Amino acid sequence: MNHIIDVALRRSRTVLMLFSLIMIIGTITIITIPKESNPDIQVPIVYISVGHEGISPEDADRLIYKPLEGELKSLDGLKEMISTASQGHLSVMLEFYGDVNIDQALIDVRERVDTAKKELPKDSDEPLVKEVNVALFPVMIVTLSGDVDESLLYASADKLKDAIETLPGVLGADIVGKREELAEIIVDPARMDNYNLSFAQLATLVGNNNQLVAAGDLDTGAGRFAVKVPGLVEEVGDILNMPVKVVGDDVVKFRDIAVGRLTYKDRKDIARINGKSAVVLEIKKRIGSNIIETLDQVKYILEQAEAQLPAGIDIRYSQDESSNIKDMLNDLFNNVLVATILVMIIVLGSLGLRSASMVGLAIPGSFLIGILLLDAMGYTLNMVVLFSLILSVGMLVDGAIVVTEYADRRMAEGAHKFYAYGEAAKRMTWPIIASTATTLAVFFPLLFWPGTTGDFMMFLPLTLLFTLSASLIMALIVVPTIGSIIGKSGDHNEASRATMKAAESGHFDDIPGFTGRYVRLLKLALERPRQIFLASLAILAITIVTYGQLGHGVEFFPDVDSDIGLVDIRARGNLSLQERDDLVAQVERKIFDMAEVESIYSSTFIKAPNDSAPDLIGRIQIELSHWEYRRSADKVLTDIEARTADLAGIIIETQKQQGGPAAGADIQ
């Protein structure tokens, strides 16, 4: 290490050039590195969904789940299998152990499901097998609402979807709340009987005439022509013009026995934004893309589209993940700035402006080197990384302060700055390395934390490992090199020099001021080692007992405020979709006049989501105003519960949007 320090000091221009290059590249990297709120981690969960029109929950469990269970229960690494059967649908959630390769597990599950398909009812839909990927969760919700025709709302949503999906950072924009279009043919039974036709014949006729026909090519000898046979139904008129029967010289067409129109399938759910019918676009970003740049581009498209949409349609967006990232980045930069200023003030008071400036360089230098290494390994800048950087601020300058202070003392004794900083770096090398290593030893075991939580928290020790290792380079290479060029001894008078000599020669009683009082207290403690040891044990025991009596317990993730609140509406009984929506609308009206609520997105459904109570009929998602201008989310949600307490026939449950890694229920 001494040889490396000597080379760095002799080639100071090279070191400064490399340091400047790292600062420039690091600054560019911190701008361009992909940013996200939560780390992109793999959740070892595979989800299977099978639909079957009209099947009861009991039959779904017996006819669909049992064959699947027989094939899936012997999968390697399977931790838990949970099935949920409802009217017309069955879902199975497979949770694997954290050390299982989820990609291989997904392949194995698909193979087992394919094997079980032959035992499923023939009318069941094709089983859907997919991985639960946190990275594919929406990063922004765009809603189109208004008191306009349903078809106009859908057409506007389709155009907006096409525009957003052209962005390179957008993986997809899924439309939620759009009903599937269908052609409805209403047959006159009397006319059908007159022509001796049946519904089965008509259905077969439409099916046979709605097929893609590959007619091939026609070679006439004089040329080759592709033959195209129009065989797909593209509009209602195609069906109405189909011949169904020949009676004498007359051709009976569909229009002679039926009328047709374009309509939509029956609703299975109802969505509203601020009380108006709405269609929702869930924006998903590509893995590795910069969330801030991507969502800024999405917002620009929304601004352009707002001026072009038909009158009466309102565009809103919510759950903007990029705003959270920006807030965290601002917090980080503010912390770095404040920490750097405080360090420079403290060092300035004892070592002077030049030394304070050199020590201050250790913070941004270590940060930028750490972020460079994270980007090189393919990681993103996320909440855990930012927290780790803030945590490391106070630890990055320790080595630089030690080297600078020792060099300042040597210069006060008359040594040249070149030799003073060289000697300081060499003599303090192993103490600084040992100090940094002990700090890293505390966090290093976190790299081996298993499971989803370990994948989530891995960024904490990794970031500290990079930044603290970079601080060694700053303290032992960069700071001594800069000091050998611009270093200057602080203002030391005869009294301060006498103090330094007294400390070095062991005459501690001659040291004045606060340092002298500390030395005398330390001397007193060293003369009574047994009493100090017993007192330390007593303090430790008292601390443990006190925490056991007065502590507030342990929780997996701290309870933090949120801008998003959820209101679940539960009700019993065989209610129609409209009856369910009426109950949800009653709750909406109780929330509308709350000033702290920015927007209200409500959804009513026939089938409750798989991870919720079976009697859940609707869910209201509220977006609150900025935390500076409102009460806490807990108080707002408590107020909502009080406002809706007089509504009969329903049960209201409220909760905040939770942060942290994916976790199951408290008790399963």
* CATH code at position 376: 1.20.1640.10
pLDDT of residue 495: 61
Structural domain of residue 56, as residue ranges?
A: 37-138
Band of pLDDT at residue 667, cut at 50, 70 and 90: very low
Question: What CATH number is associated with residue 224?
Answer: 3.30.2090.10
Q: How many CA atoms are closer than 13 Å to the CA of 635, on its beta-carbon side?
A: 6
pLDDT of residue 493: 57
pLDDT of residue 585: 92
- End-to-end Cα, the chain, rounded Å: 56
Q: List Cβ<8 Å contacts ≥24 apart for 437-441.
A: 439/395, 439/464, 439/468, 440/464, 440/465, 440/468, 440/469
Q: Is 145 left (phi over 0), alpha (psi -120 to 50) or beta?
A: beta
Same domain membership, residue 435 and residue 383: yes
Higher pLDDT, 592 or 177: 592
Least confident stretch, 8-12, 423-427, 472-476, 612-616:
612-616
pLDDT of residue 42: 75
Same domain membership, residue 384 and residue 527: no
Band of pLDDT at residue 501, cut at 50, 70 and 90: low
Is 284 among the domain residues? yes
Band of pLDDT at residue 664, cut at 50, 70 and 90: very low
What confidence tens digit (pLDDT) does each residue in 433-450 have?
Answer: 999 999 999 988 988 888
Higher pLDDT, 497 or 39: 39
Cα separation of 6 and 20, whole Å?
20
Higher pLDDT, 237 or 368: 368
pLDDT of residue 191: 87
Same domain membership, residue 222 and residue 170: no
Higher pLDDT, 59 or 334: 59
| Count of the separate structural domains present in the chain | 6
From the number of C-beta atoms within 10 Å of its C-beta (0-12, 13-18, 19+), residue 595 rates as exposed
pLDDT of residue 588: 92
Question: What CATH number is associated with residue 72?
Answer: 3.30.70.1430
Cα separation of 401 and 428, whole Å?
11
Same domain membership, residue 122 and residue 51: yes
Select the highest-mean-pLDDT range: 183-187, 268-272, 650-654. 650-654
Is 416 among the domain residues? yes
> Is residue 611's pLDDT more than 70?
no
| DSSP tag of 660 | S
> Is residue 464's pLDDT more than 90?
yes
Higher pLDDT, 86 or 371: 371
Is 6 among the domain residues? yes
What single letter denotes the amino acid at residue 643? R
Mean pLDDT of 210-237: 75
Mean pLDDT of 593-618: 82
| DSSP tag of 381 | B
Is 153 among the domain residues? yes
Cα separation of 483 and 416, whole Å?
11
pLDDT of residue 139: 84
pLDDT of residue 437: 92
Mean pLDDT of 304-313: 86
Any idea what the Cα angle at residue 405 is, between residues 399 and 407, rounded to 5°? 100
- 618 contacts 605 by C-beta, under 8 angstroms: yes
Least confident stretch, 275-284, 501-510, 656-665:
656-665
> Is residue 21's pLDDT more than 90?
yes
Is 661 among the domain residues? no
Band of pLDDT at residue 668, cut at 50, 70 and 90: very low
> Is residue 242's pLDDT more than 90?
no
Same domain membership, residue 370 and residue 411: yes
- 277 contacts 108 by C-beta, under 8 angstroms: no
> Is residue 212's pLDDT more than 50?
yes
Same domain membership, residue 158 and residue 283: yes
**CA-closest candidate to residue 411, choices 504, 493, 487:** 487
Mean pLDDT of 278-286: 86
> Looking only at Cα atoms, what is the longest distance across the chain?
129
Higher pLDDT, 96 or 410: 96
What single letter denotes the amino acid at residue 511? I
Mean pLDDT of 353-378: 87
% of the chain residues with pLDDT over 70? 92
Same domain membership, residue 475 and residue 352: yes
Same domain membership, residue 520 and residue 377: no
Higher pLDDT, 130 or 500: 130
What single letter denotes the amino acid at residue 523? K
pLDDT of residue 567: 92
Mean pLDDT of the chain: 84
Is 98 among the domain residues? yes
Question: What's the predicted TM-score (pTM) here?
Answer: 0.71
Same domain membership, residue 443 and residue 334: yes
Q: Phi first, then psi: what are they for 654, rounded to 5°?
A: -120, 150
Least confident stretch, 135-139, 270-274, 555-559, 600-604:
555-559
Band of pLDDT at residue 490, cut at 50, 70 and 90: low
Is 559 among the domain residues? no
Is 663 among the domain residues? no
Partnered with residue 605 across adjacent β-strands are 269
Residue 622 makes CB contacts below 8 A (sequence gap 6+) with 564, 565, 566, 567, 591, 597, 598, 599, 600, 601, 640
**CA-closest candidate to residue 435, choices 388, 389, 403, 390:** 403
Same domain membership, residue 297 and residue 158: yes
Q: Cα-Cα-Cα-Cα dihedral of 163, 164, 168, 170, to 10°? A: -160
Higher pLDDT, 409 or 255: 255
What confidence tens digit (pLDDT) does each residue in 519-557 have?
Answer: 888 888 988 999 999 999 999 999 999 988 887 777 766
Same domain membership, residue 615 and residue 514: no
Band of pLDDT at residue 472, cut at 50, 70 and 90: very high
Same domain membership, residue 163 and residue 113: no
Q: Which tokens belong to 44?
A: 């070892």
> Is residue 660's pLDDT more than 60?
no
